[in-house]
Structure 1
Amino acid sequence: MQDSLKSLTIGSSKPDACIIWLHGLGAGADDFIPAVPYLRLAETLNIKFLFPQAPTIPVTINGGWEMPAWYDILKMLPEREIVPAHLQYSAQELHRLTHEQITLGIPADKIIWIGFSQGGAVVLEAALNSQRYSNCSLPSAVMALSTYQALPSDAVNKLSVDFWHGHGLYDDVVPFAMGKKAYEKSADQGRKSTWNSYPMGHEVCVKQLEEMGGYIANCLAR
């Protein structure tokens, strides 16, 4: 995990806002591009979407097969045993990408992070443990989908970040209780945190995407 992450970019060519969306284990940067229309976001918001691609690495719980992964998972437990250095590299890269957008002229309060499953663990790590990272550039909001907090956080100061959590009631990959535990931590540490559950498994659904779109539009209207 040495090279900088590459990203797919869609949306406005003259953006006023940016959404950085991280995929899950084994997926690709294009995984959530088909979900964007379901957000029903107005073109007048001038949003650029960045979809970073995770490095391809061996994943221990999948027999050591190489696949796109933000970090190696050693055991399921159900609390994950992971390689912290991998997760911290991915979180640092997320801060780098965010800092790049700010340098390009997009204000931090018009940037939102979204992460699904493993990608969600990255956005939570980058936010809840932001004090660990250089060139720390926090967004206005973090949206954590079907995910968990992979490493404990030890920050004592409140973050000027809102959190939005979405989780499936029947998720058999990331147990519901793990998602709720991450929400409780973000509610304690963040400016505001919202919990949302849906009658689904380890996935996203149309209703969830529509509600995410409403949340994003409200964030960007502040």
Structure 2
Amino acid sequence: MSYNNSSSMGFGSGNVRRAFEFGRTHVVRPKGEHQATIVWLHGLGDNGSSWSQILETLPLPNIKWICPTAPTRPVAIFGGFPSTAWFDVSEISEDAADDLEGLDASAAHVANLLSTEPRNVKLGIGGFSMGAATALHSATCHALGHYGNGNVYPINLSAVVALSGWLPCSRTLNNRIEGSRDFIRRASSFPLFLCHGRGDDVVAYEYGEKSARTLSSAGFRNLSFRSYNGLGHYTIPEETDEVCTWLTSNLGLEGYRLN
């Protein structure tokens, strides 16, 4: 199932604002009892359809998957050529300049998708590459209780999964959380699962590993980091099996089975 999302967000600074419209959203309905909803975010240049086809095959009958498509926008790393992207990026690393407005807008779009889910359903966010970076930004917003722009973060997240990604705004995280007791309280028990291939030639393994260390030292104590020898910038069955096991355990799901 898929549907068009006609909402648009403004991006830019000062008096200049660029409006981008999010693309088509694909939904994979649960095959069993609906116990959790997870928004899954694709990587740079991809779309929600490709991941919805992968997620539909996972042995997680109690999860509803929502797979949105990022806006098409000029991307600095492509010399300004338009591509689907959750935020602008000049280089793929945690040391790149942060497009905080783009990150906040995409995190708000994800929160909006989760806002209409039933109250008894647990909510999560996952992603690959740039989608993973956006998911990790959402995790820090949840722990802080607000977006980078100060607006209230409205969703009570239960888990975040990040595959082959990096942590945006890592250089300013300590300053943002300084003196925040709410952050420490929320972050300490919040489940985070990061996976990264040691052979990744797109988002270097060191960025994923350093992101895990930064999040852990910031207060995310319930964090698991899994590395895979020889894995490049893609997924493998071993990785998706571990994601399934982790989600089942941390979301308290029933009905999980390995094929």
For normalisation by structure 2, the TM-score amounts to 0.75
**CA spacing shift, 1:5–1:144, aligned 2, 3 Å:** same
Cα distance in 2 for residues equivalent to 1:81 and 1:149: 12
Please state how far the C-alpha of 1:139 moved relative to its aligned partner. 1.7
Matches within 5 A, 1:63-74: 63-74=79-90
Could you tell me which residue of structure 1 aligns to residue 3 of structure 2? Answer: none
Larger radius of gyration: 2
1:128 partnered with 2:146: no
1:129-144 aligned within 5 A: 129-130=141-142, 131-133=145-147, 134-144=152-162
Q: Describe the shift of the 1:4–1:78 C-alpha distance in structure 2 as closer, same or farther (beyond 3 A).
A: closer
| Larger deviation, residues 179-188 vs 1-10 | 1-10
2 CA distance for matches of 1:217 and 1:116? 19
Name 1:162's counterpart in structure 2.
Answer: 191
2:249 matched residue in structure 1: 218
Match of 1:142, SS state, is strand
RMSD: 2.2
After TM superposition, the structure 1 = structure 2 runs for residues 1-222 of structure 1, keeping only pairs within 5 Å, are: 2=9, 3=21, 6-12=24-30, 15-36=34-55, 39-41=58-60, 43=61, 46-76=62-92, 79-101=95-117, 104-107=118-121, 110-130=122-142, 131-133=145-147, 134-152=152-170, 153=173, 154-155=176-177, 156=180, 157-158=183-184, 159=187, 160-188=189-217, 189-198=219-228, 199-221=230-252
Distance 2:52 2:93 in 1: 32
Matches of 1:191 and 1:78 in 2, distance apart? 21
* Cα 1:4/1:69, change in 2 over 3 Å: closer
Q: Is the 8 A contact 1:96 1:135 kept in 2?
A: no
The share of aligned pairs that are identical, in percent, is 28
Whether the aligned pair in 2 keeps the contact of 1:38 and 1:210 (CA below 8 Å) is: no
Q: Aligned partner of 1:56: which letter?
A: T
In 2, the alpha carbon distance for the partners of 1:20 and 1:150 equals 19
Which residue is equivalent to 2:13? none
Aligned residues: 215
Instruction: State the shift of 1:194 in Å.
Output: 0.3
Structure 2 unaligned residues grouped into runs of 5+: 1-7, 10-20, 254-259
Change (3 A) 1:190 1:138: farther
SS at match of 1:9: strand
- Secondary structure of 1:100 counterpart: coil
Cα distance in structure 1, aligned partners of 2:198 and 2:90 = 25
Structure 1 contact 142–162 (Cα < 8 Å) conserved? yes
Q: CA contact under 8 A between 2:75 and 2:90: conserved in structure 1?
A: yes
Larger RCO, structure (CA 8 Å, separation 6 or more): 1
CA distance in 2, matches of 1:78, 1:142: 18
